[in-house]
Amino acid sequence: MSLFLIAALPFLGAVFPALLIRAGRNVAASSAGLTTFLALAGLLIHIPTVMRGELVTAHFDWIPGLGLNAHFMLDGLGLLFASLILGIGLLIILYARFYLTREDPMGQFYSYLLLFQGAMLGIVLSDNILLLLIFWELTSLSSFLLIGYWKHLPEGRQGARMALAVTGSGGLAMIAGMLILGHIVGSYDLSDILQNKELIQSSPLYLPALILILLGCFTKSAQFPFHFWLPHAMAAPTPVSAYLHSATMVKAGLFLMARMWPVLAGTQEWFYIVATTGLLTMLIGAVIALMKDDLKALLAFSTVSHLGLITMLLGFGTEIAAVAAVFHIINHATFKAALFMTAGIVDHEAHTRDIKRLGGLRHLMPVTFTIGTIAALSMAGIPPFNGFLSKEMMLEETVHTVWNNSHYLVPGLALIAALFSAAYSFRFISHVFLGPQRDDYPTTPHDPGAGMWLAPAFLVVLVVAIGLFSKAIVGPLVAIASSAVIGSEDLPYYSLKLWHGFTPALYMSIIAVIGGMFLLGFHGYLERLWNALPRPEAKTIFDAVIGAMTALSRWITDKLHNGVISRYAVIFIAFTVGLGYYAFSTGSIGVPTRIPLPAPIIPIIGWICLVGATLAIMYFHRNRLLSLVLIGVVGLIVSMAFNYLSAPDLALTQISVETVSMILLLLSLNFLPTETPWDSSARRRWRDAAISVVAGLGTGGLIYALMMRDFAFPTISDFHLANSYEGGGGTNVVNVILVDFRGFDTFGEIIVLGIAALVIFSLTEGVLATKVRAYLLNRKPHWPQSGDAHPMMMVVVTRVMMPIALMVGAYIFFRGHNQPGGGFIAGLIVAIAFLMQYMASGFTWAAERQRFYYHATIGWGVLIAAATGLGAWFNNKPFLTSDFGYLHWPPLEEFEWATAMLFDTGVFLAVLGAVMLALESLSRFAWQPGIAQEHAMDINPQREEEDAEETQQEKEA
């Protein structure tokens, strides 16, 4: 099975639970389980290949020039994490089916779970850091949905927001670090980055990249001081907690540290940052876990502690420590998932997670007691369970680690953390299951059905089996995953067995177990001391930081974003001018290499008219109609300039757009006062004028400087001119650019144009459904109206010109690939032809004769353009690559046939539909005496008087 399909299956399968929930909870759960099982089966197919040390890859080059490639790879490390994600995910799906109640929307839960599962799979299978970053952020978003699944709980909503804020912020930092790393290597593919250790570590950007990447890893894996979000995520349902803590989310940071270990580890910076953070997290999490009375909180902080343990091992930078980290990732996933499910069973049956209200459950829940005890003993590091083996390897590595010339600091603190770890594990067993049976449980607990305990029971079987037969069961997986971490198949010597003789690690382990029992015996005294000690509360600090940042953001927003567009324009233009001046003054520009061309009298006259019209717009801008006429003059002169400078395509487009825009603006101005009020003081106008003059002179000076100099490198225009006919089959370079070289831009533009027209239609529809329509239709015109709304001369002329205009549009369309024209210009010309009918004969007359819907015209245009672009894929060419050939149909001469014509057809239809829909929508507001009288009864005289008073008050103000 392709890695593409394995990564995509959870996303595809996420649709089905939400749809199939109506068929029953079992059907929804089965669809989720089947999706995960298929992905797991596809993964297992690749095990023989990976075990041989080979790399499974899947490549799709999207935009190679920018490094945006959908590359996936599967090695030993990816196989380990993908197996945990899918294997434990399958068990969680089974467990959740019986854990969630009928009131819980189960279809929604499984959809969220599969989205999260797919995001995690994407992280561990990605061979491109840009693709990895996308999946990384998807884990934050999907975990937000899972943690806040119980939306009725305030703590659930707050926990989801806290997790998103912390992990999302770290993700932003990591994006910057990854981009720096890709810049150093010159590639964004992980397989390339992992081969350039010397290049990365010798770069001056190594430390910034390291810190930024580690920020993303630490926040995701809840390392100190970002550990506080993880316990608050316990407001989620227990299946979510079990999945997040064992195989996903928090393991993403560990995975990335392990993945980048070959190129980032081995330096003093790596050791002191990663190992120290992991050690502190391990110790702090263990101490806090012992003091928690909530079962899930205890397990949450124990997860923090064990994540710190793995981080510390990776931070040591030695190969054997990396092997120990890989081994403990497996062990932690098995016993921690089982423990969370056990806590969920206790909560589900006893209706409480408060340890002080529990005890004696071994008599009432023997199956749950057995599962929980084995898993907790493994977490404590008691033989013969798997947690003991990796804990021994960890303690052995600490003995050989020197921190700032101290041989005792690291092993001493690790021993204390192991001691507290044993203590909270023993507390989980004794305070929940041991002791006398109580008679004040919230409800009488009992073992649940097999549906809830089968999944954790399977995991504890693995806990025992790995502890007893680790070499046979997980030995090959540990070896191949460790080889991927250290970047070499030559592994250091290690032994996955229970007995290694009398070693320092064994003595430390004995001390930790005995000390843990001692701490448990004095837990009451320690708890009272803990509660009496002043200590910072992470949630309080987080809320204060978020509150301060919110207040600062509001202050900045209130100061800068006051809704006045002139202020935004001043800030933007002034900043641009300043930045441009700095770049020009600090840069280097050569002497001019060209001489100015002579300027004939006609262009000079046109330039004077252009400048004069522009200045007149500034002076008469309060008169809306006059300003619009002057804008039309500017557009006309610009069109003439395009034509004079040998750009007939641009001239045709400009004059067509000007015509349509003028009519659209005239319709809009029909609903506005004739003049705008003075909204700026004289001082502000002079300020704006000064900034505008400086910006205009700077832009003109820059253009002049560029036109007076030759470029030292070939321009893109040379490429287009050389390849227009050979590559696109057209001699009109502009049209070939629009439909081939930059066809994707054109495709996006017609979509945006269609969306804009639909928005205008929706807004007018909303207005037409209210009494505002009556006010608009009965408003008094600003000028005297002609007695003849539709002059006969204009009606006759427009109807005669209609077929001629359509023929011109068709001619412009068909000649566009080789001569000035094309679908965009043709669409505007035909739109103008239709528009003339509305203007001459009226909206009602034209609407009655309309034979096609403009909405459908837009849709068909976009679909035809998309289908043309997709056709290139079937020929293994990039999207929207055109093709052409020559046909000979007797008695016609041989002529060219290009697929670009189909794309241009889509452009033509989209432009025509968008323009006509927008103009038709606004036309319905036009003042029409007959319709106005029909709606006169809808007018409220009292409301008119109130509106008049409000208008007068606004004018006075």
Report d(CA 267, CA 716) in Å as an integer.
45
Give per-residue burial for 29-54: e unless 16+ CB within 10 Å, then b. bbbbbebbbbbbebbeebbeebeeee
Please check whether residue 376 is in contact with residue 425, taking contact to mean a CB–CB distance below 8 angstroms.
yes
Q: pLDDT grade, residue 933 (50/70/90)?
A: very low
Report d(CA 156, CA 763) in Å as an integer.
38
Structure confidence by residue, pLDDT tens digits, 339-380:
999 999 999 888 888 898 888 899 899 999 999 999 999 999
302 has a pLDDT exceeding 90: yes
957 has a pLDDT exceeding 90: no
Q: pLDDT grade, residue 928 (50/70/90)?
A: very low
Lowest mean pLDDT among 1-10, 121-130, 249-258, 587-596: 587-596
Please check whether residue 464 is in contact with residue 374, taking contact to mean a CB–CB distance below 8 angstroms.
yes
931 has a pLDDT exceeding 70: no
Mean pLDDT score of the chain:
86
Give me the phi and psi of 227, to 5 degrees please.
-75, -15
Asked whether the bond before 878 is cis by omega within 30 degrees of 0, the reply is no
SS3 225: coil
Tell the residue number behind the tokens 């005669």, with chain if given: 800
DSSP state at residue 598: P
SS3 247: coil
Report d(CA 759, CA 756) in Å as an integer.
5
SS3 131: helix
Other C-beta atoms within 10 Å of 102: how many?
A: 6
Identity of the residue numbered 358: L
Count of helices and strands (H, E) across the chain? 44, 6
Sign of the torsion angle spanned by Cα atoms 459, 465, 469, 472: negative
DSSP readout, 205-224?
Answer: THHHHHHHHHHHHHHHTT-T
Length of the chain: 957
SS3 69: strand
Query: Residue 942: what pLDDT?
Result: 45
| Bridge partners, 884 (sequence order) | 898
Report d(CA 648, CA 318) in Å as an integer.
69
Please check whether residue 661 is in contact with residue 837, taking contact to mean a CB–CB distance below 8 angstroms.
no
- Mean local confidence (pLDDT), 900-909: 88
- How far are the Cα atoms of 95, 284, 469 from residue 338, in angstroms, in the given order? 11, 23, 19
Query: Residue 93: what pLDDT?
Result: 93
Other C-beta atoms within 10 Å of 839: how many?
A: 18
Token pair for 627: 């300003």
339: left (phi over 0), alpha (psi -120 to 50) or beta: alpha
Please check whether residue 140 is in contact with residue 160, taking contact to mean a CB–CB distance below 8 angstroms.
no
Lowest mean pLDDT among 151-155, 506-510, 669-673: 669-673
Identity of the residue numbered 532: A
Sign of the torsion angle spanned by Cα atoms 838, 841, 843, 847: negative
Query: Residue 435: what pLDDT?
Result: 84
For the chain, the domains span 1-262, 265-517, 732-957
Query: Residue 738: what pLDDT?
Result: 83
Closest CA relative to residue 508, chosen from 381, 374, 330: 381
Give me the phi and psi of 359, to 5 degrees please.
120, 145
- Mean local confidence (pLDDT), 692-703: 88
Please check whether residue 12 is in contact with residue 121, taking contact to mean a CB–CB distance below 8 angstroms.
no
Tell the residue number behind the tokens 């002329």, with chain if given: 797
Dihedral, CA of residue 44, residue 50, residue 54 and residue 56, to nearest 10 = 40
CB hemisphere CA count around 132 (13 angstroms):
31
217 has a pLDDT exceeding 50: yes
Give me the phi and psi of 438, to 5 degrees please.
-100, 165
Tell the residue number behind the tokens 């807004």, with chain if given: 763
| Bridge partners, 73 (sequence order) | 57
Query: Residue 941: what pLDDT?
Result: 43
Closest CA relative to residue 200, chosen from 183, 176, 175: 183
Closest CA relative to residue 470, chosen from 509, 500, 450: 500
Give the angle 882-884-888 at the CA atoms, nearest 5°: 160
Lowest mean pLDDT among 454-463, 609-618, 758-767, 854-863: 758-767
Report d(CA 40, CA 91) in Å as an integer.
12
- Mean local confidence (pLDDT), 63-80: 84
Q: pLDDT grade, residue 895 (50/70/90)?
A: low
Q: pLDDT grade, residue 659 (50/70/90)?
A: confident
Helix orientation angle between 250-259 and 319-350, rounded to the nearest 10 degrees: 170
Report d(CA 750, CA 868) in Å as an integer.
14
Structure confidence by residue, pLDDT tens digits, 779-827:
666 666 666 677 788 888 888 888 898 899 899 888 888 888 888 889 9
- How far are the Cα atoms of 160, 586, 760 from residue 582, in angstroms, in the given order? 45, 6, 42
Q: Which residue has the higher pLDDT, 369 or 649?
A: 369
Please check whether residue 414 is in contact with residue 512, taking contact to mean a CB–CB distance below 8 angstroms.
no
Query: Residue 658: what pLDDT?
Result: 87
Query: Residue 944: what pLDDT?
Result: 46
Q: Which residue has the higher pLDDT, 427 or 669?
A: 427
Query: Residue 952: what pLDDT?
Result: 56
Query: Residue 777: what pLDDT?
Result: 64
Closest CA relative to residue 634, chosen from 615, 656, 620, 660: 615
DSSP H or E run through 56: strand 56-58
Q: Whole-structure pTM over 0.75, yes or no?
A: no
Sign of the torsion angle spanned by Cα atoms 344, 348, 354, 356: negative
Give the angle 18-22-23 at the CA atoms, nearest 5°: 110
SS3 928: coil
Those residues with Cβ within 8 angstroms of residue 515's Cβ, 6 or more apart along the chain or in another chain: 419, 422, 423
Report d(CA 273, CA 257) in Å as an integer.
12
Report d(CA 629, CA 852) in Å as an integer.
33
714 has a pLDDT exceeding 80: no
- Mean local confidence (pLDDT), 188-192: 89
Report d(CA 639, CA 948) in Å as an integer.
44
305 has a pLDDT exceeding 90: yes
| Bridge partners, 675 (sequence order) | 623
Give the angle 418-422-423 at the CA atoms, nearest 5°: 115
937 has a pLDDT exceeding 50: no
Dihedral, CA of residue 913, residue 919, residue 920 and residue 926, to nearest 10 = 180
Q: pLDDT grade, residue 894 (50/70/90)?
A: low
Other C-beta atoms within 10 Å of 698: how many?
A: 16
Structure confidence by residue, pLDDT tens digits, 390-405:
999 999 999 988 888 8
Q: Which pairing describes strands 61-63 and 68-69: parallel, antiparallel, or unpaired?
A: antiparallel
943 has a pLDDT exceeding 60: no
| Bridge partners, 237 (sequence order) | none
SS3 68: strand
Identity of the residue numbered 561: H
